[in-house]
Amino acid sequence: MANVSSQDLGNQAIGKLLIKQALPASIGILVMSLNILVDTIFVGNWIGSTAIAAINVVLPVSFFIAALGMAIGIGGSSIISRALGADHIAKALKTFGNQLTLTLLFTVTFAVFGLYFVDTLIPAFGGKGNIFDPAKVYYEIILYGVPILGFVMMGNTVIRAEGKPKFAMYAMMIPSVGNLILDYLFINVLDYGMAGAAWATTGSYVVSFLFIVWYFLSKNSELKINLSHFRLDKSIVSEIGSLGFVTLARQAIVSVTFLLVNNALYNFGGETSVTAYAIVGRLSMFALFPVFGITQGFIPIAGFNYGAEKYDRVKESIYTAIKYATILGTIVFIALMVFPEIITKWFTADANVIDVTPSNMRWTFAAVPIVALQLIGAAYFQAVGKALPALLLTLTRQAIFFIPLMYILPLFFGELGIWMSFPISDVLSTIVTAYFLYREVKLNLKTEVIE
């Protein structure tokens, strides 16, 4: 799991390189997923169920500001990967400086806005009655740290763009592990309650931020910027914005989808159906972490080699990433199809939930073996700086196919129609992605075919 320099992205064997990039990303995603689950268990047991509700009220706000940092990071990192591949070091440095400036401006502005309207926003997101006071305590402390989280999310993607996946993995693991340790100290030992939970989360962001600052100041990073790089450049900002909007749109549609599905399932099956969906939703990050890891590992490889005009390596990286991710997705698919009852019992002892969740789980993950192509295809267009197809392919699964299907199919199949919408939208979006990717390879990656 050794690190590679950015130039190695254009020289090392694609299969070996993809494993080096994807393994740390997969581990980081897994640790973050485990953190979400364990953190919820800690807060629920040491503070109470109201605390869980209070945290859920705050999450959309903090996630949105964090998504801003991620969007700026992914948009800029695509530029950096291609600039490094083309040996345009000055552009890579200018892009990184602009990323820092944009992250500071946007995250601080939204944090100040969020703090000013705290008493309006919390009830709007469901923090009413007994939930309001603990939600406000948690919200105010978290908002102080959210700009730091924005820098962490942005910096992590830039580290990966430099070809340093191990350091990117550390940057993902530090806040996860740190949060659990600080949870135990502030909540269980010092008995700070909701304030303790908030300071544990904020403190973990700060520790990760300090690690990322150390990385960029150390010899490990090639991006050594000065004050002139912080001045915003219109063309770079525009490109960061167009590519970053893909990430923001993805986050937004995911939030909207969760809201719509929760309401639709409640109308059919009440709390039991909503709980089943919550289990499936939490499981998706755990189950698909290796596929997401392959996708993240693929992006800097494709971007660098595209910038270097090594189109044979770009094509090979596409084929290899799809192959590896499909194999891993198939293994996950088999496990979910064979053991859904056992998996459901990890989450709950409720007999009603255990009764309905396994079949719903099978429907939801029925198309997992082919979804790798959709993820890799959409990621490719973002990696090489083609914002419009990247946005279109990102939105096909949920916005274009899933949401209409979840309203149409229940007219004929009842609640089952909602669950059927998951694999059908996966298949349709994969077909669309395959078409765009095939055209891209044939028309714009014109080199000798790799045998």
Q: What per-residue confidence (pLDDT) applies to 10?
A: 72
Q: What per-residue confidence (pLDDT) applies to 401?
A: 92
Decide: pTM greater than 0.75: no
Q: Kindly state the tokens that stand for 214.
A: 């150390």
Q: What per-residue confidence (pLDDT) applies to 363?
A: 92
The answer to whether residue 8 is domain-embedded is no
Mark whether 267 and 163 lie in a shared domain.
no
Q: What per-residue confidence (pLDDT) applies to 432?
A: 94
Q: What per-residue confidence (pLDDT) applies to 1?
A: 43
- CB 408 within 8 Å of CB 353: no
- CB 326 within 8 Å of CB 369: yes
Q: 44 exposed, middle or buried (CB, 10 Å; 0-12, 13-18, 19+)? A: middle
Mark whether 98 and 61 lie in a shared domain.
yes
Residues of the chain scoring pLDDT < 70: 1-8, 32-41, 44, 48-57, 59-60, 125-128, 255, 259, 271, 282, 285, 347-348, 446-451
The answer to whether residue 211 is domain-embedded is yes
Q: What per-residue confidence (pLDDT) applies to 332?
A: 86
Mark whether 178 and 310 lie in a shared domain.
no
Of 169, 178, 176, the C-alpha closest to 212 is: 169
Q: 226 exposed, middle or buried (CB, 10 Å; 0-12, 13-18, 19+)? A: exposed
Number of H helices, E strands in the chain: 17, 0
The answer to whether residue 295 is domain-embedded is yes
Task: With residue 78 as reference, give the H or E element that holds it.
Answer: helix 49-85
Mark whether 209 and 269 lie in a shared domain.
no
Q: What per-residue confidence (pLDDT) applies to 215?
A: 93
Rg (CA), the chain: 22
The answer to whether residue 16 is domain-embedded is no
For residue 323, the enclosing domain spans 234-450
The answer to whether residue 12 is domain-embedded is no
**Which residues have CB under 8 Å from 221's CB, separation 6+?**
159, 162, 164, 215
The answer to whether residue 5 is domain-embedded is no
Mark whether 216 and 296 lie in a shared domain.
no
Percent helix, strand, coil in the chain (nearest 5)?
85, 0, 15
